Amino acid sequence: MSRLLRAIDSAPIRTALVLAVLHLVIRAWGIARPGLWADEAINVWWAQESPAEVIKESLRTPDPPLFNLLLCGWTHLFGLGEAAVRALAALFAVATAVGVFALARAWFGGRTALFASLALLVSGSLQAYAHETRPTTLACALAVASLLALEAIARRPGVRAVLALALVDAALCYTHYLTAFFLVAQLGMVLLMPHTPGTLKRYLSGQLLAAVLVAPLAIEVLRRHLGPAAWQRRPTGAVIAGALDELMGGYAAIYVGLALVALAAVVRHSPWRRRAALLLWLAMPFVFMLVISWRVPMFHARYVLYSAPALAILAAEAIGALPLGEWAQLGLLAVTLAAGAIGFSPSPPKPHQWDVVASRLKSLTGDRAIVVEPRWHAAVLAYYYDRAAFRDPEHLEERLKADRVWLLRRGEPPNAGQMGSPKTILSVRFDVEGVDAASDARVLEPSYALTGVDLLGGARLSTFNRR
């Protein structure tokens, strides 16, 4: 076994390639199931536009433009299928795991690097967001790349390392605004970790250059007064507990990882600075998000998923630091993997299954009309119901109305007269608090009677027939 570990340590590139293949197989597992949900479809919808339009659309929302620009080029190469559009996020998840191997090897050696990357294989949170066409895994990959650039600054002083750090940190800000929490944590990590003379100066130079690169985005955001999403709420105890569960891939993974770290800290007191730096990476972004969310709601585990790799490295370093034989260490690694596997799903469920809902809608024939609420589901509705309409964003609603499908704003009642008083009206509603089928019935009475209510794919489908 010692010979195998020595071979791994002496051939890092080959090991990294093998790990990349392993992670690629896991991340590709069930990547096309289930179907896209609304947020994913909106990103894919924007990606069909020109790069200039992609930037313009992104600046109207709380999402910076980098991921959508990358997705724009990706979809032009590989198309709009579910597996194709999710493959980009999956590749960023694979890049994260390979980057963790490189970072852990630089900090703690080959054994810790191998254990850390293997621990991420069963990360339920990384798997979930590898199957989501959103910028979450891109932020993870860039956070790890930023720490690798920081390591390069400490080991190989030079302009290229400073420039690399500046470009990666700027890219983080262009991926998601809350990656700013990581950059604050990174400053604490720089101050904690051992470094050569001049490292702090070079780091600050890189941050200054990154600030210059991010300035156009910051000015535009301030000009537009972009605030938190309307659906955000202040975090409650249950929400906080759920976010921790999602972020770390389950409570079992958290308990096992922190127990190993505590045990290693008691048995061996070094290298405490790097462990403390990893704890900052793990905890500080989540704490910042939590504190700020009590004032300005912006709380969701995916916003700080870039902290999750820190727990894998901490657990792996703790296993390697314990004065145990290699078989005992491999046993602890197996326990860590088993704890992560408890919360692991190869094809995590989505909030809504629009592919299922759209199949039901397509089956309706005759004198009927369909109303969908809220209207921000327009992109995912068109993706599964009428792909031609999806490919024509400027005329999407007109195309849907031509097939007697109406989009309603949140809480807007259906108007049978505008729809031509069809024989049957099917109301499809998502996430409507305090509004039930009876609300539509009161609006449509006395001309229509509620004849059925079905729950399908996370939606409530209410059928009304003309009296």
**Res. 340 pLDDT band, cuts 50 70 90:** confident
Q: Which of 31-35, 77-81, 161-165, 366-370 has the lowest mean pLDDT?
A: 31-35
Gap between the Cα atoms of 373 and 418, Å rounded? 16
Is the confidence at residue 158, as pLDDT, over 70?
yes
Question: What are the beta bridge partners of residue 260?
Answer: none
Question: Mean pLDDT throughout 297-317?
Answer: 91
pLDDT in tens, 32-75: 776 788 888 889 988 888 888 888 888 777 789 999 999 999 99
**Res. 443 pLDDT band, cuts 50 70 90:** low
Question: What are the angstrom distances between the C-alpha of 13 and each of 92, 110, 121, 418?
Answer: 18, 11, 18, 64
Mean of per-residue pLDDT scores for the chain = 86
- Biggest CA–CA distance in the chain, Å, is 83
Gap between the Cα atoms of 27 and 120, Å rounded? 11
Q: Is the pTM of this model over 0.85?
A: yes
The sheet with strand 368-373 has its strands ordered as 405-407, 368-373, 424-429, 459-466, 448-456
Q: Which of 99-108, 165-174, 185-194 has the lowest mean pLDDT?
A: 185-194
DSSP E strand boundaries for 33-128: none
**Res. 169 pLDDT band, cuts 50 70 90:** very high
3 state DSSP class of 423: coil
Gap between the Cα atoms of 455 and 65, Å rounded? 36
**In the chain, count of helices (H) and strands (E)?**
22, 5
Q: What does the domain layout of the chain look like in residue ranges?
A: 2-342, 354-466
Q: What tokens does 88 get?
A: 């980009």
Is 270 in contact with 361 (CB distance < 8 Å)?
Answer: no
Name every residue whose Cβ is closer than 8 Å to that of residue 388 and which is 6 or more positions away in sequence: 399
**Res. 445 pLDDT band, cuts 50 70 90:** low
Is 301 in contact with 246 (CB distance < 8 Å)?
Answer: yes
Higher pLDDT among residues 258 and 305, named by residue:
305
Q: For tokens 């054994």, what's the residue?
A: 111
Identify the pLDDT of residue 434: 47
Number of Cα atoms under 13 Å in the Cβ half of residue 361:
31
